[in-house]
Structure 1
């Protein structure tokens, strides 16, 4: 079963005008036929991949620690970050929505596109202007004369060919594309903030865990030092314990730097000076949501970047119609009425009332192939935007598939690494006891400590990846599911 992503071109056909109709404007009606460009179509599967495609048994997978779960119905689906159930994160995202500079920039661009659409729509209505002037003139020996004028001018371009409507469709599609781009940048900024915050929290808990390790290593360093003073071990054992402690301390400092940089990134995203942002480490890790596996591929239609690419393609297609219609003459109706007199006192008298009305027809008889070249340019622009649209959809599919696979497989990897950490912790404790009893040398203890520290850091790193993958998957689905 497949689903087609396609664009229905909104270039409306109408009756073909005859040569006689071109000369008799009074009986004209309808629009010139503008053949639409071929619709861009993309054939994709109706469903995304299932766990079995990644070597996982679905039934077994559902009964293990990593279970399929949908966020609670009471949570707002548009505010997807609330699924992590972290109050501080919710407050940060709210501030980002208000203060982020990139969002403000795209919001202004959307208002600009909307204003351009309003300008195009205004072309369907008559234009009325008012004028008044006074002139004094003298020629040679003649007396000075004065002229007083006051009147109204009106003009209107009947949309016989559909030029105005076609231009409105172009600007309407551009406005919709701009709105989609605004939603896209908003989603991107929300995802960046959520990812940075979750990584900041993970590092906070990892630093707490590292502090416990540093305390144990410091105690062991003191033990080896006491043994050296008692003549039980050589100085090299103390040096090895000192090196192990200093290496762990350096890693702790590196994690502190990474956490500070994440906090600075969060402050930048919410539009707040870095020195004014104070984050509080929560008592527990945020909830790690799990995305359902039965995701329809139609969910990609909610992605704002896909919507922006599709609307941009629609605007380019409509622009082809604008270029094709440019070959037809411009027809307008204009007129004016007012008063004109050489004396201000009798300006508004009946004999001084003037008026005029009449049509205007203007056409380009020869342009050296300019219109044809402009049409070909518009067609090429449409082909390019259609290719971008297809590529955007394919990239969206890859993005979702990558994160679905990562969500499933990371859960297994975390469980495996946790088992490795538990075994490494037991081995370290056992080796430490054996060392204190004089059964094994310090090299065994050193190896056991390194294994435990490595497994511990791997668990935290994989946990951070799980949160990041969840954010990426939600973002890949357009911010809701």
Structure 2
């Protein structure tokens, strides 16, 4: 009991004194006026219920974390585009799904199937329902437990038992009755367990939203990777067509004796090498298509996505302030709610130091013979109150309280680590977007220069100034640079998706406090 605050001990002691007085008054009233059992019992119950304000729950405050003033990789004055904006703390206004920032109807259609068919999301939904059921389970501790039963039996008492009128007799016994028991929540054990269950339910809600965010981000990343492969596939298809035409020209020149067999071999090698790269794209695309099918809950063998070579523009995404990230990430909210749950478990451990008061009542009919069973003389009833507490338990309660404090410290560390990782993920993607934007500009210049070099080298070869090997080299450089341009564009889109995931996808913590399981 030394672990409890002094003010909390005094409140609980006052509540205990009041409970004892109420129980004694009820007992005296029942002794003096047995004909008014029900009103007195109800009154005693209400008096005991009024004591439930006593609680050993420690005052809860959200753990402090170090929050930077701004993101290091954020633009100086970010502006939202495409109608997508981030949530402000406490802003519960509905916003569109985060993926609509890309303005892709096919992606929107696929994302709409995640909630309906994805099995990982369905499992998270089931876990949320389980957590919510535990709130109702713990809340039932506020109410009495009432049981009813009936019995019919025959019994014989040994004839050798002395000093009993039933010795040697075989008697029937018929009974029916109700039993009620109630343990008033004097020291907040039940209420603390309800608070803990509510916090866990809210954490499960945030877990569900985190799973939805993760699955939808994986889907978007796979979809845009597939689109990037379609663009590279078109580039390689066009290149194969051009190389095939070049091979035909080389064959004609060879037949005319203008070039030797080495030129023909070089053109053939260039064509087949590019054709191999083109075919390999099909393998990667098929795997991404299968992954998308799994994410939307459809068998891979029945799912297809038509190729689309339309370029995907990179959206501008405002990162907001680091302090807002604490309200926008479902995993941060889940970690913080589990800190609240651990705090409630400390209250439960403290409540174990105090005694429990149990009020019980029973009433029914009992008779040796069936005929007078339902008559007034067969009535029996009892009322009672029991106050019991543990005096010696070998340090079990102390160990439980120490364990609860240790668990609290652990989940606080988890919360702070989750916040740190969230900041890191945002900074990683902001840095990637900034660097890739510069890479895209320089690589586009390199690709343009490679195309000019290829054109000049081809002209020189046609004029007989250079060998065909120089053309092959220029073709390889040009193709490599074109593919690099497409790959950088794909990485920029992927970084945008990951930034949206790191920012919480427009999620808002208000969805937890507005749910039916909120305080």
Do they fold alike, i.e. is TM over 0.5?
Answer: yes
Q: Check whether the contact 1:138–1:144 (CA below 8 A) recurs between aligned residues.
A: yes
DSSP-derived class of the 2:466 partner: coil
- Residue of structure 1 equivalent to 2:83: 72
DSSP-derived class of the 1:188 partner: helix
Q: Which sits farther off after the overlay, 286-295 or 384-393?
A: 286-295
The reply on whether 1:16 has 2:27 as its aligned counterpart is: no
Q: Check whether the contact 1:153–1:337 (CA below 8 A) recurs between aligned residues.
A: yes
Q: Check whether the contact 2:56–2:347 (CA below 8 A) recurs between aligned residues.
A: no
Q: 1:123 aligns with which of 141, 151, 176?
A: 141
- Counterpart CA distance in 2 for 1:74 and 1:19 is 53
Offset, 1:370: 1.1
Aligned length: 459
Give CA deviations for 1:134-156 in whole Å, capped at 9, x if unaligned.
Answer: 11112357443111111111111
Q: Check whether the contact 2:293–2:300 (CA below 8 A) recurs between aligned residues.
A: yes
- Unaligned residue ranges in structure 2 (runs of 5+): 22-47, 87-93, 160-167, 508-519
DSSP-derived class of the 2:481 partner: helix
Q: 1:47 aligns with which of 64, 70, 76?
A: 70
Offset, 1:17: 5.1
Q: 1:266 aligns with which of 289, 292, 299?
A: 292
- Residue of structure 2 equivalent to 1:346: 372
- Counterpart CA distance in 2 for 1:280 and 1:465 is 22
- Counterpart CA distance in 2 for 1:306 and 1:114 is 20
DSSP-derived class of the 1:261 partner: helix
Distance 1:183 1:21, change over 3 A: closer
Q: Check whether the contact 1:309–1:392 (CA below 8 A) recurs between aligned residues.
A: yes
Q: Check whether the contact 1:13–1:35 (CA below 8 A) recurs between aligned residues.
A: no
DSSP-derived class of the 2:10 partner: coil
The reply on whether 1:156 has 2:156 as its aligned counterpart is: no
Q: Please list, as runs of the form range in 1=range in 2, the aligned pairs for 1:75-94 lying within 5 A after superposition.
A: 77-94=95-112
Distance 1:424 1:109, change over 3 A: same
Aligned Cα RMSD in Å?
A: 2.5
Flag the structure with larger Rg: 2
Q: Check whether the contact 2:58–2:344 (CA below 8 A) recurs between aligned residues.
A: no
- Counterpart CA distance in 1 for 2:252 and 2:80 is 54
The reply on whether 1:188 has 2:214 as its aligned counterpart is: yes
The reply on whether 1:98 has 2:116 as its aligned counterpart is: yes
Distance 1:295 1:206, change over 3 A: farther
Q: Check whether the contact 2:230–2:309 (CA below 8 A) recurs between aligned residues.
A: no
- Counterpart CA distance in 2 for 1:193 and 1:78 is 17
Q: Please list, as runs of the form range in 1=range in 2, the aligned pairs for 1:177-326 lying within 5 A after superposition.
A: 177-282=203-308, 284-292=310-318, 294-326=320-352
- Residue of structure 2 equivalent to 1:134: 152
Distance 1:464 1:12, change over 3 A: farther
- Counterpart CA distance in 2 for 1:78 and 1:340 is 67
Q: Check whether the contact 2:60–2:340 (CA below 8 A) recurs between aligned residues.
A: no
DSSP-derived class of the 1:155 partner: strand
Offset, 1:293: 5.3
Q: 1:25 aligns with which of 19, 25, 31?
A: 19
Q: Please list, as runs of the form range in 1=range in 2, the aligned pairs for 1:418-429 lying within 5 A after superposition.
A: 418-429=444-455
Offset, 1:202: 1.5
- Counterpart CA distance in 2 for 1:20 and 1:410 is 68
Distance 1:233 1:282, change over 3 A: closer
Offset, 1:225: 2.7
Q: Check whether the contact 2:233–2:278 (CA below 8 A) recurs between aligned residues.
A: yes
Q: 1:328 aligns with which of 341, 349, 354?
A: 354
Distance 1:271 1:35, change over 3 A: closer
Q: Check whether the contact 1:69–1:289 (CA below 8 A) recurs between aligned residues.
A: no
Offset, 1:69: 4.3
Give CA deviations for 1:182-237 in whole Å, capped at 9, x if unaligned.
Answer: 11011100000111111111111221111111111122222223333333333222
- Residue of structure 2 equivalent to 1:372: 398
- Counterpart CA distance in 1 for 2:343 and 2:57 is 11
- Residue of structure 1 equivalent to 2:420: 394
Q: TM-score, normalised by structure 2?
A: 0.83
Give CA deviations for 1:415-439 in whole Å, capped at 9, x if unaligned.
Answer: 2211211111111111111111101
Distance 1:37 1:372, change over 3 A: farther
Q: Check whether the contact 2:250–2:263 (CA below 8 A) recurs between aligned residues.
A: yes
Give CA deviations for 1:53-99 in whole Å, capped at 9, x if unaligned.
Answer: xxxxx69xx9xxxxx54222699734111222222211111111100
Q: 2:471 aligns with which of 442, 445, 469?
A: 445
Distance 1:283 1:259, change over 3 A: closer
